[in-house]
Amino acid sequence: MTTDVSGVMRPVATANGLPNDHYVDERIFLEERDAVLYNNWSGIAVAADVPEKGDAKPIEFLGMPLLLIRDKDGDVRVFQNTCRHRGMILVSEPKKIEGAIRCPYHSWCYSTKGDLVATPHVGGPGMNTHKDMPRSELGLYEVPSYIWLGVVYVNASGNAAPFEEIHAELLERWKEFDVPLYHGGEDSKFELDVNTNWKLAVENYCESYHLPWVHPGLNSYSRLEDHYNIEEYGRYSGQGTLVYRQLTGQEGETFPDFPNLSDKWDTGGEYITVYPNVLLGVQRDHAFAIILEPKAVDKTVEHVHLFYAEPKVDEALRAKNATQWKTVFIEDIFVVEGMQKGRYGRGFDGGRFSPAMDGPTHCFHDWVANQVTSHRQQLAAE
């Protein structure tokens, strides 16, 4: 199974979108799993999922069993959630690791740093060592991970260049937000189950073209002409606004600002996709992340998290903010689900892009097409 993506990589004015099979075919979904999601730095969680030392959370990422853990020194790590002995799943539900991770099968034990620390009866009853079982070589497989703006990214294949190298320009663009971000807690996260391919959520997020039609409530203060495109081919894309307005409470209270921001952010906000699957938004007083979890070719879970400049911000205002964003994100669901249905139209050629308005979306298509092409070339060369 292959597709012709050459038309995607033409200049935006003449390009077509990715072919239908990239949205409806299980085989292409699995190809993109490897070529796009495993080969790059994909978001899988937020660091706030494991707030304390020893906290562990199993995560299944496109079928790959992972274990998110905060080790005894406070560092967040990601391991394969698989015992090096017989391949048993080690942790099946979120829990606190008080001392060691014990496999429920034969009780091999691992430290929170992944070291194999006990192999009971491995040399026979009551004999806990064996010359052919070197513990130092049998620690958990660690998956390269990186935390940025509260989100935990992993490179499942282990082959990507370092996160800070691949995303150097984006890190520089948003360096003012590289400060402690505080997750708002239970009332500042929610999930949306959406019947769509994960890429359609990215595509919709990247552009402002749809805002006046899909989010008419934003029109009163955030007009189309107040937005600008962000399109860095081969790197990232999204949109920005010039008229971000702070949320206010009944007494006129606002959230505290992130420290030392430049004037640009007084009324500015930017909304960028960290390719492939993390949608980030930053404003002067809060940030958010939407981690897209592809569940199937036509099913995606959107994990939404809101972050603030201080650990404790006004509870009522926090709830109001979460409700406001949830309303906006729910307004987008009929669009991404509608585009998914539209992709079953056999004559559809991937569609065209407005050169003026759809650059950020084409930027993403172009990046995906390049990832897939590179992967195919690599496989062909092997």
Residues that bind another protein (CB under 8 A): 98-102, 107, 109, 117-118, 120-121, 125-129
Nearer to another protein, 7 or 120 (CB): 120
Give Cβ neighbours of residue 12 (< 8 Å, ≥ 6 apart).
353, 355, 358, 359, 362
**Residue 309 backbone phi and psi in degrees, to 5:** -80, -20
Residue 117 or 214 having the CB closest to another protein: 117
The residues pairing with 72 across neighbouring beta strands, listed in sequence order, are none
- In whole angstroms, what is the distance from residue 320 CA to residue 237 CA? 28
CA distance 202 to 210: 13
Question: Closest distance between another protein and the C-beta of residue 55, in Å?
Answer: 14
Q: What backbone phi and psi angles, to 5 degrees, belong to 281?
A: -135, 135
Minimum CB–partner distance for residue 68 and another protein (Å): 19
Listed residue (5, 332, 326, 35) closest to 200, CA to CA: 332
* Closest CB to another protein among residues 129, 378: 129
Write out the two tokens for 85: 């002995």
Nearest-approach distance from CB 108 to another protein, in angstroms: 9
Minimum CB separation of residue 129 from another protein in Å reads 6
Q: Which is nearer to another protein, 108 or 308 (CB)?
A: 108
Residue 69: CB minimum distance to another protein, A: 14
Six token digits for residue 72: 């005894």
Report the distance separating Cα 118 and Cα 211, nearest Å: 57
What angle separates helix 198-206 from helix 359-381, to the nearest 10 degrees?
140
The least distance separating another protein from the CB of residue 115, rounded to whole angstroms, comes to 12
Closest CB 72 distance from another protein, rounded Å: 9
Per-residue buried b or exposed e for 197-209, using 16+ beta carbons within 10 Å of the residue's own CB: bbbbbbbbbbbbb
Q: Which of 137, 251 has the CB closer to another protein?
A: 137
Closest to another protein by CB, 119 vs 237, is 119
- Give 120 or 256: the residue with its C-beta nearer to another protein: 120
Burial environment of residue 321 by CB neighbours within 10 A (0 to 12, 13 to 18, 19 or more): buried
Neighbours of 151 (CB within 10 A): 24
User: CA angle 317-322-328, nearest 5°?
Assistant: 125
Instruction: Tell me how far, at minimum, the Cβ of 56 lies from another protein, in Å.
Output: 12
Query: 100 or 214, CB closer to another protein?
Result: 100
